[in-house]
Structure 1
Amino acid sequence: MAQLVYALITIVIGVLGALAYFFGSNWLLDRIFPANHPDLAQASRNMRRAGLIRPWLFLGPALLSLGIYLVYPLFSSILYSFYDRTGSQFIGLGNYLWMLHDGEFRESIFNNILWLIVVPTAATLLGLIIAALTDRIWWGNIAKSLIFMPMAISFVGASVIWKFVYDYREAGAEQIGLLNAVVVALGGQPQVWISLPFWNNFFLMVILIWVQTGFAMVLLSAALRGIPEETVEAAVIDGANPWQIFFKIKVPQIWGTIAVVWTTITILVLKVFDIVLAMTNGQWQTQVLANLMFDWMFRGGGDFGRGAVIAVVIMLMVVPIMIWNIRNARREMEGR
């Protein structure tokens, strides 16, 4: 109860503080540059100056927050990547050389590449298929709501749910894990699924696919509904079958949206952390870059240099995809 009270107080203070800031700053600006100045020329200049400053009053808190919580940590991480574990002694490229020869880092890169290949492709493809199918049935909106529901769950919450799906009990005991219960019912032996090397990565990927399919479905469903009916009707008149209409008429027209969805999920995958931490903690060859960075930065006494160099690698992998995604989204908005 105390935590709920603290959370409520924090929300109230935050909202009231934001209102006080915006009303107070605008009131102060209007007093510094009054629009009702007796001199009409001065009044016009005041209005022009106030108009130039006012947008920055609204942007100011956001820009300040971005500077403190995004820009500063970015340059700080790059700087720390050239220092030792305490962040006090400059060691040049030492951390980068360690990274290239570290087996756990290579394992993390391999696993991240697996995630990049499987998760965005599977989530986008499933989202597209479901979006197309649910538009054809009367209870499609209900189905979409159910499929989108996992998006409301945190990654840790989703991991807890899937822990029960993969749960293991010894052979002969009652299996409470859904997957092992099905295997045993079919005459097989229960398995510790999340400890099976290589394959356990795919079991973890299923969780993120389950969460992100709803996101892909919503965007792609909106894109499909935006396709001009004339193009579909023309294809029907020309004798195209449903498969041809979908793959040769509809998909090419929403290719930009598909690319945006795919790259957005890709950026998320590059930063995947919660699922691996909650399910395996990086054990059994499931380590990924974000989890490895967390281990080096905050565990075992902490190593600022090695944690920072892994953070730099993640950033270098994310930034090009993010830039491409923004440019592609801008072209979509401009109708190019």
Structure 2
Amino acid sequence: MSTYGRSSPSWLKLALTLASALLALLVLWQGFFFLRDTDLPRLLTAFIAILGFGAAMSVLYVATDVILQQLPLELSHRLQPLPFIVPGVVMVGYFVALPMVRTLAASLFNRDGTAFVGFANYIQVFTEPFMLETFRNNLLWLVFGAGLTVVFGLTIAALADRSRHEKIAKAIIFMPMAISLVGAGVIWKFIYAFKDPSEPQIGLLNAIVVAFGGEPQAWIQLIQPWNNLFLIVIVIWLQTGYAMVLFSAAIKSVPNDLLEAARIDGAGEIRIFFSIIIPYIRPTLIAVTATVVIFTLKIFDIVLVMTGGQFGTDVIATQFYNQYFVNRNAGLGSAIAIVLLAAVVPVIVYNLKNFNRNEPL
């Protein structure tokens, strides 16, 4: 036995294990580029990726574990989490951090990356009229989209908990969450559909308006800038169920003894809601609000499906798409992407700090 309580390592075994690990890494590295550039059918490519990468990762984990078992006991225990952490860190670094750095670098160059322009693209982002309109629209999405989603979710959660039909009501309200953003856009495009007043209206909203003697309206085309609010209705419809479920779970965790004591002291239900329930579920309230805000800041699919960013409905994400992929302006498109990142990161950081602050000891 060695001084560390383990048998002496077999150098041949260690050499073979190390060689296996290096071979697995080589397979993963070269396999990525091969599958990225191959012309094989997609189904076959997916099969090769699942089988090959799965086998390579298994070999890599086993080899790493064998190597760690030969180290001193204390050092082995300290390094044991690394085989599980490092692959994730590498993937995040390659697929998130590296593109972020490359996007930041591209934002400092002109449209085709041939000339350094410094902060000219950022100046354009904050001075061009179409970008100012875009920021206005995103502000509308934040105030009305995120704000009303949280308010409706919290209100419905509080009211549904008192209903005999709680499960049915929550199931109906949560149901839109099962629909993709593109699918929701298609559904609401039919609802807002507009025909010439002389023709029958196929849009549900205009059919109702006409039935009550009103004039049909091009809800998402001509009514500017209020057409953005008609788009915001879609995300409220989608996300209210998500907020409701989390708020409902948090409200149910409020101790009944605390609520009964407040009622005995003469507090009304509204006073109990704002003075006891809201402070008690504050961590959940912050987490849900942050999640909805991030989702709203990155909104893209609904706007692209409904209007394509036309009629004054562009948001930051669609503007980035148009500048980078449609107008082929890599510099300005990258600058818009960095601005979107800068808007999202503080919310994420605040949310993480809130999680750490409320983590049980």
| TM-score of the two chains, using structure 2 as the length reference | 0.83
Deviation at 1:172, TM superposition (A): 3.7
The counterpart of 1:24, out of the listed 30, 48, 59, is 59
1-side partners of 2:256 and 2:205: how far apart? 43
SS of aligned partner of 1:182: helix
Aligned length: 320
The counterpart of 1:113, out of the listed 136, 139, 146, is 139
The counterpart of 2:86, out of the listed 60, 71, 75, is 60
| 1:8/1:59 CA distance change after superposition, 3 Å | farther
The counterpart of 2:245, out of the listed 218, 221, 224, is 218
The match for 1:39 is none
The match for 1:273 is 300
- Note if 1:295 corresponds to 2:322: yes
Identity fraction in percent: 41
- Note if 1:326 corresponds to 2:361: no
2-side partners of 1:311 and 1:299: how far apart? 15
Deviation at 1:210, TM superposition (A): 0.8
| 1:32/1:242 CA distance change after superposition, 3 Å | closer
2-side partners of 1:16 and 1:47: how far apart? 34
Deviation at 1:17, TM superposition (A): 4.9
Deviation at 1:201, TM superposition (A): 0.3
The match for 1:167 is 193
2-side partners of 1:327 and 1:201: how far apart? 33
Asked whether the equivalents of residues 183 and 190 of structure 1 are also in contact (C-alpha less than 8 Å), the reply is yes
Asked whether the equivalents of residues 30 and 50 of structure 1 are also in contact (C-alpha less than 8 Å), the reply is no
The match for 1:38 is none
1-side partners of 2:262 and 2:234: how far apart? 38
The match for 1:191 is 217
1-side partners of 2:320 and 2:213: how far apart? 42
The counterpart of 2:269, out of the listed 235, 239, 242, is 242
Deviations for 1:79-133, whole angstroms, at most 9, x for unmatched residues? 1111011112111122122223311011101111111111111000110111112
Q: Segments of 4+ in structure 1 off by > 4 A? A: 5-9, 12-19, 46-50
Moved more, 114-123 or 254-263: 254-263
| 1:284/1:30 CA distance change after superposition, 3 Å | closer
Deviation at 1:18, TM superposition (A): 5.9
| 1:179/1:303 CA distance change after superposition, 3 Å | same
RMSD: 2.1
- Note if 1:262 corresponds to 2:289: yes
Deviations for 1:229-266, whole angstroms, at most 9, x for unmatched residues? 11100011112222222222212211221122112111
1-side partners of 2:280 and 2:67: how far apart? 53
| 1:33/1:234 CA distance change after superposition, 3 Å | closer
Asked whether the equivalents of residues 68 and 79 of structure 2 are also in contact (C-alpha less than 8 Å), the reply is no
| 1:163/1:331 CA distance change after superposition, 3 Å | same
The match for 2:25 is none
Asked whether the equivalents of residues 26 and 54 of structure 1 are also in contact (C-alpha less than 8 Å), the reply is no
1:39-78 to 2 correspondences below 5 Å: 45-78=71-104
The letter for the 1-side match of 2:238 is V
Deviation at 1:15, TM superposition (A): 5.0
- Note if 1:147 corresponds to 2:182: no
SS of aligned partner of 2:132: helix
- In structure 2, list runs of 5 or more residues that go unmatched: 1-40
Deviation at 1:25, TM superposition (A): 2.4
2-side partners of 1:128 and 1:33: how far apart? 50
- Note if 1:306 corresponds to 2:306: no
SS of aligned partner of 2:197: coil
The match for 1:286 is 313
SS of aligned partner of 1:192: coil
Structure label with greater radius of gyration: 2
Deviation at 1:142, TM superposition (A): 2.3
The letter for the 2-side match of 1:115 is W
| 1:143/1:309 CA distance change after superposition, 3 Å | same
- Note if 1:179 corresponds to 2:179: no
